[in-house]
Amino acid sequence: MIPFFNRNKKPKVAEEKKSNCDIEHIAIIMDGNGRWAKQRKMPRIKGHYEGMQTVKAVTRYASDIGVKYLTLYAFSTENWSRPTDEVNYLMKLPGDFLSTFLPELIEKNVRVQTIGFIDQLPEHTRKAVLEAIEKTKNNTGLTLIFALNYGGRKEIVSAVQLIAEQYKNNEIGLSEINEQSFSDYLFTKGIPDPELMIRTSGEERLSNFLIWQASYSELVFIDTLWPDFDEKALDQCIEIYHSRHRRFGGL
Ligand code: FPP
């Protein structure tokens, strides 16, 4: 774990570790902010604040080791049911994160993207992420994808609605609907499926995250609470991934 006084410093990455990660896409369910705060008798939003610091550290590290896509579950379509103060704080976080971190993302050649129903986000949140997407759109390093107001089932239903509309208008035929073309109607169009899906805090479920895309992902559940997750923990998850034998239904 990085000591808290040290969390904004760039970690030293061993030369041989740079750019050699063979995992293209890592997706993370960042869970345990609330419990982290509760253990310290702090308000839940303090846990989310520390969670944002972890996002910075993990983004730096993923970029340094050569991961191509990092998708982070920042706000689900179900999270609106949380207390208003917490929702408001979570909606403020992307702006806070980008106002302090965007220059470094640009320096590191990171491209920012989102998945989710961002039209339904408050104006200030949408504005902050759209600005970051625009300013980083030509970057060619790590793609950092925030899942914001994202839900896997809603994503699939909205893909079906689009396809039905096109079918009704004779723009698409039945034989053109297959797994590949269906994927192109999802928010993740053009993004490879995650090979590795991590969930922190000891919970072991997908919670509606990338349910189509994670069909063959290796699932790694780690007890660490998200604010305590760090480079070492990510390395540990990558090691677990490497210890698995991916067969994709074959032998
Ligand atoms: C789940 O933990 C976490 C969330 C719903 C929010 C995740 C958000 C962040 C980590 C910060 C995101 C940062 C940016 C830049 C957008 P929980 O609150 O459900 O934890 P608990 O299960 O312990 O209560």
CA–centroid distance, 143 to ligand 1, in Å, is 20
pLDDT at 218: 97
**Strand-strand pairing, 25-29 and 69-76:** parallel
pLDDT value of position 13? 47
Nearest CA to ligand 1 atom 7: 74
pLDDT at 139 (0 to 100): 98
Query: Kind of pairing, strands 69-76 and 143-150?
Result: parallel
Q: Is residue 55 lining ligand 1, measured as CB closer than 6 Å?
A: yes
Mutate to test the pocket of ligand 1, among 7, 28, 33 (most ligand atoms within 8 A of CB): 33
Measure the CA–CA gap between 74 and 70, rounded to whole angstroms: 12
The response to whether residue 152 sits with its C-beta less than 6 Å from ligand 1 reads no
Closest ligand 1 atom to 225 CA: 23
Active site residue 178: no
Task: Give the pLDDT confidence of 139-148 residue by residue, as tens digits.
Answer: 999 999 999 9
Given ligand 1 and candidates 97, 226, 228, which is best to mutate, with the most ligand atoms within 8 Å of its CB? 226
Q: Is the CB of 61 under 6 A from ligand 1?
A: no
**Using 50, 70 and 90 to split pLDDT, how confident is the model at 2?**
very low
User: Which atom of ligand 1 lies nearest, measured to the CA of 35?
Assistant: 23
Average pLDDT, integer, range 45-67: 98
Q: Which runs of E-coded beta strand occur in 20-95? A: 25-29, 69-76
Contact between residue 135 and residue 106 where contact means Cβ atoms under 8 Å apart: yes
What share of the chain in percent tops pLDDT 90? 89
Rounded mean pLDDT, 53-63: 98
pLDDT interval class at 4 (50, 70, 90): very low
Contact 73/147 with Cβ under 8 angstroms?
yes
pLDDT the model gives residue 11: 47
Is the CB of residue 46 below 6 angstroms from any atom belonging to ligand 1?
Answer: no
Bigger pLDDT: 129 vs 6: 129
Task: Return the pLDDT at 20.
Answer: 78
How many residues does the structure list for the chain?
251
Give catalytic status of residue 139 as yes or no: no
Atom in ligand 1 nearest the alpha carbon of residue 97? 15
In short, whether 79's Cβ falls inside 6 Å of ligand 1 is: yes
Order of strands across the sheet with 196-199?
111-115, 143-150, 69-76, 25-29, 196-199, 218-221
Residue 248 CA to ligand 1 centre (angstroms): 31
- For the chain, the average pLDDT equals 93
Check pocket membership of 50 for ligand 1, CB cut-off 6 A.
Answer: no
Q: Please give the share of the chain, as a percent, with pLDDT higher than 70.
A: 92
pLDDT confidence of residue 19:
64
For position 18, what pLDDT does the model report? 56
Tens-digit pLDDT profile for residues 114-125 = 999 999 999 999
Main-chain phi, psi angles of 83, to 5 degrees: -55, 145
Tell the residue nearest (CA) to atom 10 of ligand 1: 51
pLDDT per position as a tens digit, 166-193: 999 999 999 999 999 999 999 999 999 9
The residue from 8, 31, 149, 235 that is catalytic is 31
pLDDT by residue (tens digit) across 189-216? 999 999 999 999 999 999 999 999 999 9
